[in-house]
């Protein structure tokens, strides 16, 4: 079993898509082993996205991610990272495959509804960033 982190981003939370997005995880073999809703401070968003700190979109990303509540989920399943990446679709919703989360619920490359870990190393860092062992069910 593999674990990955997913975030329902502020745009999808504000539009009321939390349930629809979670349903897609669960019906595709990804179990929820940790979940919480929170509002990231600017500092927390900067810490989470530190790998992008030199990129031109960093400030905009941090502003967006700290603008409204998010839902963070630790997901578990066989090949969870790839499965979640496939469910999300391409970063740009206009280029995402039909019926992927970003195609259905995203607006643009920044407001693309969800975040997902891209590797085992990222998943380990990201899950630990939001959850301690007492907040996980397994």
Catalytic residue list: 115
Cβ contacts of 59 within 8 Å, gap of 6 or more: none
Packing angle, helices 120-130 and 80-88, rounded to 10: 80
Number of alpha carbons in the 13 Å side-chain half-sphere of residue 16: 0
Q: Return the sign of the alpha-carbon dihedral for residues 18, 74, 111, 89.
A: negative
| Cα gap 90→102, rounded to integer Å | 7
| Cα gap 94→18, rounded to integer Å | 21
Strand partners, 36: 72
């Amino acid at each position: 079993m593999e674990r990955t982190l997913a975030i329902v981003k502020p745009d999808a939370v504000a539009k009321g898509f939390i349930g629809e997005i979670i349903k897609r995880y669960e019906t595709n073999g990804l179990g929820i082993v940790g979940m919480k809703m929170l509002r990231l401070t600017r500092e927390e968003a900067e810490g989470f996205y530190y790998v992008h700190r030199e990129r031109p979109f960093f400030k905009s990303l941090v502003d967006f991610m700290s603008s409204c509540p998010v839902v963070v989920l630790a997901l578990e399943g066989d090949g969870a990272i790839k499965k979640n990446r496939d469910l999300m679709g391409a970063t740009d919703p206009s280029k995402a495959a039909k019926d992927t989360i970003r195609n259905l619920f995203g607006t643009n490359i920044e407001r693309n509804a969800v975040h997902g870990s891209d590797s085992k190393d990222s998943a380990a860092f990201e899950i630990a960033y939001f959850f301690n062992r007492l907040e996980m069910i397994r």
